[in-house]
Structure 1
């Protein structure tokens, strides 16, 4: 069964239970030499959306799920694969049990723009619910953002 590296709003266990109800959580870990950023400002109803980009020295907390074929199709639809919003890439996740090769979604658009406070708060809440370390959650909450008025 392929492993999916969930980040951003997909870190929330309730979100993943809704999007991929037949796929169990395997573990958590880090995308090392990647950073969480935002882009595609004109492609979302609330401004820039989360993605990851390669960035030596940075890391992104992820949850690893064993994804069934049917849940992968559901996730693809939810993440906008059919309209070209995201694309899938293979990544290496550092876990306590060793490295795991997984796939994740990356935005197929330019990086840039500030997320809204509401969106960023939701990402921090998802990270907290997904078991991210306290300092990671605090760093998310401290990121620059704009008012919710888009």
Structure 2
């Protein structure tokens, strides 16, 4: 099944390190969802997605092997219950594709650190996100972090 990366895993180089057997298939838009932050990470609120009919999120679709899926579950703390997998549909140039994303199992709200926001924006840029998406992402409120 396809994994829709929206956070730091959107960076193809990072995904190649974490999941070397799971190639990038395409990029697209997760319609009806928005990127937000919540919970309490060690350096600010954590990235997550919430349903919102008026929004969309740029994602990379990776064809993830079973072994790499287990690795991702560890990286994303899904095995501890911090994030959960949610099935979604992504709009791509080749039509809609089914897949899954990790969604934070905590409250929405809070402000990410500048470091976290920078990592997300750099990952989106590396994956080919459009300029207007990058400008919006980089202009979000953030804390100075650690």
* Same fold at TM > 0.5: yes
Alpha-carbon deviations, 1:43-74, whole Å to 9, x = none? x2111110000011100000000000000000
Per the alignment, residue 31 of structure 1 pairs with: 30
What is the TM-score when the length of structure 1 is the normalising length?
Answer: 0.95
Q: 2:143 aligns with which of 139, 142, 146?
A: 146
Per the alignment, residue 115 of structure 1 pairs with: 112
1:100 aligns with 2:83: no
Q: Which runs of 4+ in 1 moved over 4 A?
A: none
Per the alignment, residue 40 of structure 1 pairs with: 39
Alpha-carbon deviations, 1:57-95, whole Å to 9, x = none? 100000000000000000001100121110001001000
**Matching of residues 1-150 of structure 1 within 5 Å:** 2-41=1-40, 44-149=41-146
Unaligned runs of 5+ in 1: none
Q: Which has the higher strand share?
A: 2
